[in-house]
């Protein structure tokens, strides 16, 4: 259809999202990895991403005149979690929703953000997750920088310069 540059995003490490951490909570500490994420869910997402990368490689072969890249959401998100405080996120809130109804991860499927009984955190920019499913604007901004200015776009088909800290 004429596209000359295409970016195909991978899946997030879903075992790190407040919605999944709440819904699939496990009593065994061994079910969690060093980033306090659910191992099995992240393994599932990683397998999906492996298949997706193979499909992207096939697209590249089929369309040699197009620049087709894979955006590694999985590892860029993990990098964001691990480096949260250095990126301006509250270390105690990287797995909690900013807008929610309480609980360990401030997420309740029956009380989604915006309904009566939920509350919004004082500083959304200190949180990675907005509502347990979606990221905050600050997290999207940090992740886009990791992808477009870092090592999480394969191959690197874009060149964006940063101006005054802006992408």
Q: Span 64-73, mean pLDDT?
A: 94
31-58 tens-digit pLDDT:
999 999 999 999 999 999 999 999 999 9
Q: What is the mean pLDDT of the chain?
A: 92
Contact 107, 22 (CB under 8 A): yes
In this predicted structure, the answer to whether residue 151 has a pLDDT above a threshold of 90 is: no
Q: Which pTM value belongs to this model?
A: 0.89
Q: Is 144 exposed, middle or buried (0-12, 13-18, 19+ CB in 10 A)?
A: middle
pLDDT of residue 113: 95
pLDDT given at position 1: 72
pLDDT tens profile 20-29: 999 999 999 9
| 167 pLDDT higher than 50 | no
Burial of 109 (C-beta count, 10 Å sphere; 0-12/13-18/19+) = exposed
Which pLDDT belongs to residue 161? 57
Q: Where are the domains of the chain?
A: 5-154
In which order are the strands placed within the sheet that holds 5-9?
5-9, 67-71, 153-154
């Amino acid at each position: 259809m004429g596209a000359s540059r295409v970016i195909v995003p991978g899946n997030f490490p879903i075992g790190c999202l407040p919605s999944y951490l709440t819904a699939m909570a496990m009593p065994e500490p061994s079910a969690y990895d060093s980033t306090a994420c659910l191992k099995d869910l992240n393994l599932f997402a990683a397998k999906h991403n492996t298949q997706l990368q193979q499909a992207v490689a096939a697209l590249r072969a089929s369309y040699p005149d197009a620049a087709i890249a894979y955006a590694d959401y999985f590892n860029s998100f993990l990098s964001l979690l691990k480096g949260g405080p250095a990126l301006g996120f509250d270390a105690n809130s990287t797995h909690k929703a900013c807008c929610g109804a309480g609980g360990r991860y401030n997420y309740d499927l029956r009380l989604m953000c915006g309904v009566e009984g939920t509350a919004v955190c004082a500083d959304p920019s200190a949180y990675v997750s907005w509502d347990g499913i979606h990221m905050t604007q600050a997290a999207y901004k940090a992740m886009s920088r990791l992808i477009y200015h870092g090592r999480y776009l394969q191959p690197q088909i874009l060149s964006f310069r940063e101006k005054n800290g802006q992408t």
